[in-house]
Amino acid sequence: MGSFSEEDNKLIEQEFEGLRDSSKKRCANEQEFQEVLKAFNLANEAHKGVRRRSGEPYILHPIAVAKIVVQEIGLGYKSICAALLHDVVEDTDYTTDDIRRLFGDKITSLVDGLTKMKTALQNDSELDQKSLQAENFKRILLTLNDDIRVILIKLADRLHNVRTIEFMPEAKRDKILSETMYIFIPFAHRLGLYSIKSEMENIWLKYKEPEAYENIKERLNYIMQVRDNSIDEFIEPISKRLKKAGYSFHILKRMKTPYSIWKKMTARQIPFEEIYDIYAVRIIFDPKGDLSEHDQCYNIYRMITDIYPNRERVDRYRNFLSHPKSNGYEALHCTIMSPSGHWIEVQIRSDRMNKIAERGVAAHWAYKNQQTLGQHDQKIDEWLDKIKKVVENPDANALELLDTIHEELVTTEIYVFTPKGESKQLQKGYTALDFAYIIHSQIGNKAIAAKVNQKLVPLSTVLHTGDQVEIITSDSSRPKREWLTFLKSSRARSEVMDTLRENTKGNIKEGMNILASELSKHGLSPSSRVIKKLIEAYKVIGGKEELYAKIGIGIIDLSDLGTILTKNNEKKLIKIWGLDITDIIKPSKIEKGKDYILEENISEGTISYNIADCCNPIPGDNIVGFVDDDGKVTIHKKSCALAQNLASKRGEKIVQVKWSKHTILSFLARISLRGIDRIGIINDITREISLVLNVNIRKLFIQSHDGIFDGYIDLYVHNTKDLEDIIKKLKKIKGVDLANRVDINE
């Protein structure tokens, strides 16, 4: 432990000055403020001489976390103190008893909750059955039972960690960013902390897909320069009308974030040019008169549509007043075509709604304490109670729990009605049987059919917003194994599996034997790679045990096993002048902290890595490697969803990988095409690729309708630069309107 220089001490004092000012404003009295000063002095003393990876004094991290807690989340002095002290018990000689003696029970419980999150499993041998990361996430979620502020402070801690992630080694950076995307970003969203969510998303994109991030940022900066005046012109008549109506208000201009644009581009497989609603305008008003906040939102909406008649895109109207989000978010959204010819989203909120939108759950409880909650604000409490029940289940396996919570955090909501007209919130894609289990586990267990909108339907029927659902039960009915094929809710699946548990063990063993026997006919053993492929092919949600159980009871009959084992093999082939290399060798040694070079041995026809089916990376892509259970390395794109999942649960499997500099190998990629159909255009496209560019086409799919063609070409390229050159050439062909790389989803 070294000592700090005078410059270090000045930096510490300078950083604390900002926190001191914010804390002074937030504290209710001088006594609370003195507690904050005392917490800083203790933390500063405890971390004296300790530095972060960046070389800065360590105390700057707790100060930064405390600033986020007070300035961006809006928590009070106890949370500020806990943020300052959150690493003291874990990293120094101070104990929980020391904190309790100096700061009392409440601050100690917050610090203790944060410390428990960092406690790792002591027995590394358990890692075969349990994921260390998943167990630690379980500890995080268990703190919900104690105090929600623990999660909020942890989010502040994670935000500062990703803000300074450039100083981390690459493998650790991938692990931290992946678990941030898998759990912390969805938590920030669910708790209504949108600014924190957006910042973490953009940092994730900056490091996972740096070229895409910089490209989108440049385009947004250009748009801001050329369109800013036209947005002001759009706002001006709205502002005049609101003033005339006597409103006190302010209007903010907002642009979509790079991440939200990238997400839409990748989800819809479209280029930047087809993202239309880049600008948003936010109207925040102080309520006036006797009308409710909701009624005043509707009045402002009517003013806007009066100013811009017949310019609304009605399919983009969003009423979060009648149906607030589960995190309490309320607003009215509409999308209007501006006089300059651009779509602009308008968000209408009261000042109260805006505070909850900006600071989420913290603002929710501030208003709750003032007893000024709206009728829908209890949704946050309901959701947290739901999470607590999941976490409190003593049988909850950490990995299953992590997936369940992730599912709870990220899925879109729908609203359905009971026969008595009571509204129930479900996740999109849920079935009538999922609904039955949400009502009560016994209703689910005894369900035999359902009525949706008075029509008799099977329990597997997928529900939609506005459906009225009645569950028909029978006392003699019991959960059936085939229910697992269509149930979406992790809770419902768990209920069914628990009921069937006694028989499940025998079925798992039977399924293992059947699978081993069938695989042996193909000269294979049930390796982790084979199991992973089968889980994906049969769409098994609950992992390998559920796969074995379904095979054991005959839900999966393995009649198509041969097809599945060979499916996509062509897609994964890597070509060297017509020679297919498919033998993936196990590396002799992988050194942590060093780059594992992705190489091939041409003379022996082998390569040192496996290409993931899910994202098909090619040289030039940003990639991450994972060591499979059989010791072989599989590579994914860093932005691949499956890679996020793996890194979130098994970070110790991450390998730093780098493409070798050779360009002998060719890799499969897909280009999406669209344009105006004309005679000979397909010949022009294939001639350009095959004859002019000398590229091997594997597959061509083009369809034409009403003079427009669209489709895709699968072809083998050496790297991303080759692919970009091909795309540029294709765009120059007369009639081609769109050509861009898309994922291979087949």
Tell me how long the chain is.
Answer: 746
Q: What is the 3-class SS of 405-460, one letter each residue? A: HHHHHHCCEEEEECCCCCEEEEECCCEHHHHHHHHCHHHHHCEEEEEECCEEECCC
DSSP per residue, 50-96:
-B-TTSSBTTHHHHHHHHIIIIII---HHHHHHHHHTTHHHHSS--H
- Taking phi first (over 0 means left), then psi (-120 to 50 degrees means alpha), and beta for anything else, what does residue 706 get? left
Q: Contacts for 589-596 with beta carbons within 8 Å, 24 or more apart?
A: 590/627, 590/633, 590/655, 592/171, 593/169, 593/171, 593/656, 594/656, 595/656, 595/657, 595/658, 596/625, 596/633, 596/655, 596/656, 596/657, 596/658
Q: What is the 3-class SS of 13-47, one letter each residue? A: HHHHHHHHHHHHHHCCCHHHHHHHHHHHHHHHHHC
Tell me the three state secondary structure of residue 637. strand
Helix H or strand E encompassing 679: none
Count of alpha carbons within 13 Å of 257, Cβ hemisphere only? 16
- Torsion sign (Cα): 243, 245, 249, 253: negative
For residue 545, how many other CB atoms are within 10 A of its CB? 17
The token pair at 4 is 């700090």
Q: Could you give the dihedral angle defined by the CA atoms of residues 307, 311, 312 and 313, in that order, rounded to the nearest 10 degrees?
A: -170
Q: Cβ contacts of residue 168 below 8 Å, gap of 6+?
A: 53, 176
The token pair at 381 is 């409490």
* 43, 66 contact by CB (below 8 A): no
Q: Phi, psi (5° rounding) for residue 111? A: -65, -40
Q: What is the C-alpha to C-alpha distance for residues 447 and 433, in angstroms, rounded to an integer?
A: 7
Q: What is the C-alpha to C-alpha distance for residues 731 and 684, in angstroms, rounded to an integer?
A: 12
Give helix 170-179 / helix 148-163 axis angle, nearest 10°: 140
Q: What is the C-alpha to C-alpha distance for residues 433 and 480, in angstroms, rounded to an integer?
A: 12
| Amino acid at position 323, single letter | H
* 660, 557 contact by CB (below 8 A): no
Q: What are 619's strand-pairing partners?
A: 621
Q: Is 362 exposed, middle or buried (0-12, 13-18, 19+ CB in 10 A)?
A: buried
For residue 714, how many other CB atoms are within 10 A of its CB? 19
The token pair at 396 is 């909850």
For residue 616, how many other CB atoms are within 10 A of its CB? 22
DSSP designation for 556: S
Q: Helix %, strand %, coil % for the chain, to 5?
A: 50, 20, 30
Tell me the three state secondary structure of residue 337. strand
Cα-based distances in Å from 262 to 205, 267, 275, 333, 396: 8, 8, 10, 22, 35
Cα-based distances in Å from 584 to 257, 452, 522, 572: 40, 51, 18, 12
Q: What is the C-alpha to C-alpha distance for residues 384 and 376, in angstroms, rounded to an integer?
A: 14
Q: Could you give the dihedral angle defined by the CA atoms of residues 108, 112, 113 and 119, in that order, rounded to the nearest 10 degrees?
A: 170
* 580, 558 contact by CB (below 8 A): no
Q: What is the C-alpha to C-alpha distance for residues 437 and 453, in angstroms, rounded to an integer?
A: 19
* 406, 644 contact by CB (below 8 A): no
Tell me the three state secondary structure of residue 592. coil
**Residues carrying an active site annotation:** 90-91
